[in-house]
Amino acid sequence: MGKRSKEYFTIAGVSRHDLIAVGYDAAAVDDGTMQRLSGELEDAYLAGAFWHDLREIAGEMGIPKRAAQ
C-alpha cells in the first residue's frame, strides 16, 4: 500500500445546479444560504446513511477490517 498523504477526503458537495435539478430557484439563493444548506445536509447524512453506507461500501470493496483488540 502506498504512503498515506491525506487524512480526510471530500465525499460530496452541493451546488446551485443541484437545487435547480430538484426544482428550486437557485438564483434566489445567496452564498450564506448555500453554506447553511451544506451544513444541514452534512448533519443529516452523518446522522443517517453515512455510517451504514461506509460499512456496506468498504465491505463491497474488500477493505479489510481491523483485528479485534
Model confidence pLDDT, tens digit, residues 46-61: 898 899 999 999 999 9
pLDDT value, residue 31: 97
pTM comes to: 0.71
Residue 1 has pLDDT above 70, yes or no: no
In a domain, 3, yes or no: no
67 assigned to some structural domain: no
Query: What count of other Cβ atoms lies within 10 Å of the Cβ of residue 65?
Result: 8
Number of structural domains found in the chain: 1
Task: Please tell me the predicted confidence (pLDDT) of residue 7.
Answer: 86
3-30 pLDDT, tens digit each:
778 888 888 899 999 999 999 999 999 9
pLDDT of residue 2: 62
Three-state SS at 67: coil
Domain encompassing residue 50: 32-62
Across the chain, where does the E strand assignment appear?
none
* Listed residue (9, 10, 15, 8) closest to 38, CA to CA: 15
